[in-house]
Every structure is written in structure tokens, then in C-alpha cells.
Amino acid sequence: VQLQASGGGLVQAGGSLRLSCAASGKIPSINTMGWYRQALGKQRELVADITSGAGRNYADFVKGRFTISTDNAKKMVYLQMNSLGPEDTAVYYCNADLIYTESTNYRRRGVFWGQGTQVTVSS
């Protein structure tokens, strides 16, 4: 199983970015997908996540500015980020809690992380 994140970059304060993350592998089902971020010198923190039933959970610091969504058929999760500020500068990581099939055809549950994508917001 792999998670591939993309969409980060440099943007001015007040601007927008859309992050994407694709899960690949033998994945019969996904329980939750989400986005975390880690700023320099800080701990990784939850930004938003979404369950298979489309229940959404947002950190207080992004409510009203960020929107998480999924394309279940494509096994993708997106994070639309609006009204970005310098405080949003961080490496953003996608995360998935899912069921995957091993080479033996045995199904396991696991938590996987993408490689991270840098978001830099200039003032």
C-alpha cells in the first residue's frame, strides 16, 4: 500500500491550494482518510479527516477555511485550503486507516502515511 500526496507549493497569504492524495495497492476498503501537518519545530497535528460514511472532522484552526473530500472509487482524498495564512506553513501528510490484502490474500487493517508535501504561505 502506498499513499502519494501532491499539490503543495508556495502561495501568498489569502491564497488557496488543493492537496491530493492517492492510495494504491490491494485495498478492499478504507475506514478513514485524513490530512495532518507538521510545522518546523512542532509536533504533527491533525488537520482534517473523513470516514467512509463521509463524517468529517476538522481541527479548530481550519474550520471554515479548509474542506476535506474523497473520491472513493479512485481511493483519493483532497484538501481544499482557502484563506491561507503564514501559520499554515507546514509539511502536509495524508493518512489512511484501511483494509488491505497481503500477497497471501489475507486481509489486514493498517495505518499508512504519504510522503508529505510542503505548503509555504508568504505574508
pLDDT of residue 20: 98
pLDDT of residue 65: 97
pLDDT of residue 92: 98
pLDDT of residue 91: 98
In the predicted model, residues of the chain with pLDDT beneath 50 are none
Three-state secondary structure call for residue 87? helix
pLDDT of residue 16: 98
Q: Chain-centre distance of CA 63, in angstroms?
A: 15
pLDDT of residue 103: 84
Half-sphere exposure of 73 (CA within 13 A, CB side): 0
Strand boundaries in 1-123, DSSP class E = 2-6, 9-12, 17-24, 29-38, 45-51, 56-58, 66-71, 76-81, 90-101, 107-113, 117-122
